[in-house]
Amino acid sequence: MIRIGLVGCGHIGTVHAVALQQLTDAELIDARLTATFDDDPDRAAKVARHQGGEPRETLEELLDAVDAVWVCTWTAGHLAAVEAAADRGLPIFCEKPLAPDLATATSVAAALERVPHQVGLVLRWAPVFRNLAGVVASGEHGRVLAAVMRDDQYFPVQGMYGSTWRADVEHAGGGTVIEHSIHDVDVLRWTLGDPVEVSARTASRFGYSGIEDTAVATFAFADDSVAQLTSVWHQVLSRESSRRLEVFCEKAVLWTDDDYLGPLHVQTDDGEHLIESEAPSWSSRFTLPAVYAKALAQYAEPSKAFLDSLSRLGTRRAPAATPVGHPRAGDALAAHRLVDLVYRSAADGGVPKSVN
């Protein structure tokens, strides 16, 4: 059995803890959460009490007692935790973004590459985006002309998120672009390829220095196609997190208003049809109401795949070169480079920046 240590027991850490608990209780993984650590001992104790494991007093104590590590601290805490785990040769699941800035993200990625790892860019696991990427890659509807993505969420310092650190630029590195829409940047790059130019405008309306709550970015591609991302943190507390992606091809328009199962709408000369998706069949074994089981599956599926890969290796100290995780540090770092260009363009009044 793989003993898992959870580092960081806030909102996203708790989500992962619940997902791991459900996978374990349903006997879907040969792994279990056995240790927790957080700078706030009460949070570590709470997660351990409800989702299993034993709270540890220090990071080092946790690392000495586990076989794999989930790094779910605030963004600025990732580097120290990842490097410490990598020094022990432990496999690592690291939440996104890797770090508050590109230079530190590069260091985090380098540490991750030393061990089997996976990064929490979970939209790559969403069936609706896998379907969309597959349709685009097939070329059956011609070339991509343009894409439009809208991502909005209520400001996550409150409500179910309660991530007060996201109002502190030293902990977060920025606002809605790096903390939420790095997912979107990754999906656009994964689906459309690498852009050649980035331009952007951002604004901070809610008074948190360095934390943008509104951003519009344009990505230009070598084939003259374009993609636009609008990312907003608002104060509509009844609206948690929502995404819409539209891709205009020469012979079809594809869109979705759901960032997990879809459906994916495809409109052609022959009319509109839907590409439906379902959550993994094993998620029906979760002991949660169906609506919560579906939401949790978004996190459980990539976690299960990572743990299954580790189990197949037959060793808890697998060679670093073993590609057991997806997406990997290189994927996350590529998204970070684009996010960095978004911020650089915005700081320069929207002047386009070339992708080197």
- 80: exposed, middle or buried (C-beta count within 10 Å: 0-12, 13-18, 19+)? middle
Tell me the C-alpha distance between 42 and 50, whole Å: 12
CA distances, 292 to each of 15, 18, 44, 111, 276 (Å): 11, 11, 23, 34, 20
Q: Which CATH class is domain 124-279+336-354?
A: alpha beta
Give the per-residue pLDDT at 318. Answer: 53
Give the per-residue pLDDT at 340. Answer: 98
Give the per-residue pLDDT at 167. Answer: 96
Give the per-residue pLDDT at 97. Answer: 98
β-strands 214-220, 226-234 pairing: antiparallel
Beta bridge partners of 215: 202, 231
Tokens standing for 153? 């969420």
Tell me the C-alpha distance between 108 and 329, whole Å: 8
**Pick from 234, 302, 265: nearest CA to 132:** 265
Give the per-residue pLDDT at 292. Answer: 86
Instruction: Let me know if the fold of 2-121+284-328 is the same as that of 124-279+336-354.
Output: no
Tell me the C-alpha distance between 337 and 322, whole Å: 25
Max intra-chain CA distance, the chain: 63
pLDDT means per 10 residues in the chain (356 residues)? 97 97 97 97 97 96 98 98 97 98 98 96 96 97 98 96 95 98 98 98 96 98 98 96 97 97 97 96 92 90 96 65 80 98 98 96
Q: Domain residues of the chain, as ranges?
A: 2-121+284-328, 124-279+336-354
Omega before 127 within 30 of 0, i.e. cis: no
Sign of the four-CA dihedral 9, 11, 12, 14: positive
Tell me the C-alpha distance between 315 and 154, whole Å: 43
Per-residue pLDDT tens over the stretch 283-308: 999 999 888 888 899 999 999 999 99
Question: What CATH number is given for 2-121+284-328 in this structure?
Answer: 3.40.50.720
Query: What phi, psi does 125 have (nearest 5°)?
Result: -95, -10
Task: Decide if 44 contacts 5 (C-beta within 8 A).
Answer: no
Per-residue pLDDT tens over the stretch 306-333: 999 999 886 445 555 566 779 999 999 9
Beta bridge partners of 32: 3
**pTM of the complete model:** 0.95
- 58: exposed, middle or buried (C-beta count within 10 Å: 0-12, 13-18, 19+)? exposed
